């Protein structure tokens, strides 16, 4: 982003990434539906490799987080990270197949106690391990505030052991956050949770900070951590958005947002109407954020958007709605991904930066 916010987000092709030779990269997430690794990053940069196809076609997208200041890299257990004095980007991948193999091997007793014996599936165990290691890493490095978390789960809507896998994920996420002493409502990070290719690992990447952010809810929606039990025994733990004062700017992280009003999915089967409702939800969050940070002027057309499309054939309809709402200069990428409710056809996450002098 061009605003001097100290934190930058760019969506670029691998070729653009290589040509740019940025010296201040904090972390990268790569998106691709193919198995071939996109490589081409410096070894010390943490890279979250997500298996979700880019639309249209089969290209690769790099989501690049830059910080405009010195950074150093490290690793704790499986969490790879890179940090400045103020913030940390981290990522972890946990393979369910490897957990299953470990459970069958000499470590069997330990793994059974941790997961399978309690009637939980491999995704529950993978999620527990990922969140335990993430919380331990940010606490040990002293960046205790999770600002923003991205979760990519293979086969998110599939039933396993009698429970939808997204619900297993929610149970394990909630449990691990509680065990680490964190809040389960209110003071919780913004997030996205999407499907990924079968047999790919659970991939989680995140931003964390030394200073506390401000959490923003959407007056049109029930907070996700208060969803009724019909959506799962354990509610999803995320805020609708977080607002964080970066060293020289204000950053707004808008969670994955869909056509939900109250707690219900609206416009079932109507992709265009779901897209419009989603944009109305994002506008409501922008208004809340601009009110919470006096002097801030976040606006839809200046956000970077990541749009998740369940059915690739819906892409033209969604693109047309976004073009009408955003104009041409918008920075948007489209990915094919399953969304956590079967009746949702589109979900949009967004990131905005605003210079600090404008946000007195």
Size of the site for ligand 3EB (CB under 6 A): 12
Answer yes or no whether residue 265 interacts with ligand 3EB by CB under 6 A.
no
Report the nearest approach of ligand 3EB to the CB of residue 140 (Å). 24
Is 347 catalytic? The answer is yes
Report the nearest approach of ligand 3EB to the CB of residue 346 (Å). 11
Answer yes or no whether residue 131 interacts with ligand 3EB by CB under 6 A.
no
Answer yes or no whether residue 260 interacts with ligand 3EB by CB under 6 A.
yes
Q: Which of 41, 129, 174, 255 binds ligand 3EB (CB under 6 A)?
A: 255
Answer yes or no whether residue 346 interacts with ligand 3EB by CB under 6 A.
no
Answer yes or no whether residue 309 interacts with ligand 3EB by CB under 6 A.
no
Region 63-122 residues binding ligand 3EB, contact defined as CB under 6 A: none
Where does this chain touch ligand 3EB (CB under 6 A) — which range of 58-66, 68-76, 93-101, 187-195? 187-195
Answer yes or no whether residue 193 interacts with ligand 3EB by CB under 6 A.
yes
Report the nearest approach of ligand 3EB to the CB of residue 49 (Å). 20
Which residue's CB is nearer to ligand 3EB, number 168 or number 209?
A: 168
Which residue's CB is nearer to ligand 3EB, number 154 or number 236?
A: 236
Report the nearest approach of ligand 3EB to the CB of residue 200 (Å). 18
Greatest alpha-carbon span in the chain: 59
Which residue's CB is nearer to ligand 3EB, number 143 or number 253?
A: 253
Answer yes or no whether residue 192 interacts with ligand 3EB by CB under 6 A.
yes
Report the nearest approach of ligand 3EB to the CB of residue 21 (Å). 34
Which residue's CB is nearer to ligand 3EB, number 25 or number 93?
A: 93
C-alpha span between 14 and 16 (Å, rounded) = 5
SS3 of the chain: the string is CCCCCCCEEEEECHHHHHHHCCCCEEEEEEECCCCCCCCCCCCCCCEEEECCCEECCCCCEEEEEECCCCCEEEEECCEEEEECCCEEEEEEEECHHHHHHHHHCCCHHHHHHHCHHHCCCHHHHHHHHHHHHHHHHHHHCCCCEEEEEEEEEECCCCEECCEEHHHHHHHHHHHHHHHCCCCCCCCCCEEEEEEECCCCCEEEEEEEECCCCEEECCCCECCHHHCCHHHCCCCCCCECEEEEEECCEEEEEEEEECCEEECEECCCCCHHHHHHHHHHHHHHHHHHHHHHCCCCCCCHHHCEEEEEECCHHHHHHHHHHHHHHHCCCCEEEEEECCECCCCCCEEEEEEEEEEHHHCC
Which position among 217, 321, 347, 349 bears the catalytic label? 347
Question: In 3D, which of 327, 308, 328 has the Cα closest to residue 318?
Answer: 308
Cβ proximity of 55 and 336 under 8 Å: yes
Phi, psi of 37 (to 5 degrees): -75, 145
Cβ proximity of 224 and 340 under 8 Å: no
Answer yes or no whether residue 256 interacts with ligand 3EB by CB under 6 A.
yes
Where does this chain touch ligand 3EB (CB under 6 A) — which range of 60-68, 117-125, 185-193, 206-214? 185-193
Where does this chain touch ligand 3EB (CB under 6 A) — which range of 16-24, 139-147, 157-165, 191-199? 191-199
Q: Which of 236, 278, 293, 335 binds ligand 3EB (CB under 6 A)?
A: 236
Which residue's CB is nearer to ligand 3EB, number 2 or number 229?
A: 229
Binding interface with ligand 3EB (CB under 6 A): 151, 191-193, 224, 236, 238, 255-256, 258, 260, 340
- Active-site residues, by number, are 347
């Amino acid at each position: 982003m061009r605003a001097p916010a100290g934190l930058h987000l760019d969506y670029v092709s691998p070729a653009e990434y290589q040509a740019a030779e940025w010296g201040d990269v904090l972390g990268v997430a790569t998106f691709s539906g193919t198995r071939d690794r996109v490589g081409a990053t410096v070894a010390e940069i943490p890279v979250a490799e997500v298996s979700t196809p880019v639309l249209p076609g089969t290209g690769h997208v790099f989501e690049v987080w830059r910080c405009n200041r010195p950074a150093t890299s490290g690793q704790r257990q499986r969490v790879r990270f890179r940090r400045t004095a103020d913030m940390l980007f981290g990522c972890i991948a946990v393979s369910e197949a490897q957990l299953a193999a470990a459970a069958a091997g000499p470590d069997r007793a330990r793994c059974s106690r941790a997961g399978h014996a309690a009637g939980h599936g491999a995704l529950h165990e993978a999620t527990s391990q990922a969140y335990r290691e993430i919380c331990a890493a940010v606490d040990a490095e002293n960046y205790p505030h999770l600002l923003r978390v991205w979760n990519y789960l293979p086969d998110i809507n599939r039933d396993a052991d009698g429970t939808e896998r997204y619900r297993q994920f929610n149970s394990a996420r909630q449990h691990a956050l509680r065990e680490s002493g964190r809040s389960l409502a209110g003071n919780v990070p913004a997030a996205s949770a999407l499907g990924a290719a079968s047999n790919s690992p659970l991939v989680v990447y995140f931003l964390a900070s030394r200073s506390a952010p401000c959490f923003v809810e959407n007056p049109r929606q029930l907070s996700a951590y208060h969803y009724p039990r019909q959506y799962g025994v354990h509610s999803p733990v995320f805020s609708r958005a977080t607002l964080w004062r970066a060293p020289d700017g204000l950053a707004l992280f808008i969670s994955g947002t869909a056509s939900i009003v109250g707690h219900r999915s609206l416009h079932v089967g109507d992709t265009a109407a779901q897209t419009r409702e989603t944009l109305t939800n994002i506008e409501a969050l922008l208004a809340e954020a601009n009110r919470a940070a006096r002097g801030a002027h976040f606006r839809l057309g200046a956000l970077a958007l990541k749009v998740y499309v369940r059915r690739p054939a819906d892409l033209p309809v969604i693109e047309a709605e976004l073009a009408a709402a955003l104009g041409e200069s918008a920075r948007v990428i489209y990915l094919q991904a399953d969304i956590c409710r079967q009746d949702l056809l589109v979900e949009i996450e967004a990131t905005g930066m605003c210079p600090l002098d404008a946000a007195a």
